[in-house]
Amino acid sequence: MISPISEFLKEAGFEVESPAFLKGKSGATHMFDIGAYRKDVTRELMVMGLATADDEVSDQPAIAMFAKIYDVMPGKACLVAIPKISENGKKMASLYKIEVIEAENPKEVVKALKKVCLEKS
């Protein structure tokens, strides 16, 4: 699932690391499934996490991602939930300003990325 996302981001002009290991303001290093930035534009960092479940992803990935983004302070954070995220997870992600992408396959993820994660904040 990560490979098609990385390829799309590269084609969109992003520098991509997967996995991305980023040092936060605390000095701790955090791992994200994908880290992407456009060095020629603003050097604004976008981080992404991927969570999967048989039925729906719980709120735990959003909570865990918040702890990491609070320390790293990226420009944008996206959580890809396969196939969907729980209502509580949506609420937590919204509170933490994490964009959620619900998708069942890589094609849906890329389509959603065009709308959600590549817009200017």
For position 100, what pLDDT does the model report?
Answer: 94
d(C-alpha 1, C-alpha 15), whole Å: 18
- For β-strands 29-32 and 20-23, DSSP reports them as antiparallel
Structure confidence at residue 121 (pLDDT):
43
- How far apart, in whole angstroms, are the C-alpha atoms of residue 121 and residue 92? 19
Sheet holding 99-102, edge to edge: 15-17, 34-37, 45-52, 76-82, 99-102
Report the pLDDT value the prediction gives residue 117, as an integer from 0 to 100: 56
The one-letter amino acid code at 44 reads E
Long-range contacts of 98-104 (CB under 8 A, 24+ apart): 98/62, 98/65, 98/66, 98/69, 100/62
- The radius of gyration of the chain's CA atoms, rounded to the nearest angstrom, is 13
pLDDT along the chain (121 residues), means of 10: 89 91 96 89 83 96 96 94 96 96 89 71 43
pLDDT of 92 reads 96
| CATH placement of domain 2-110 | 3.40.1350.10
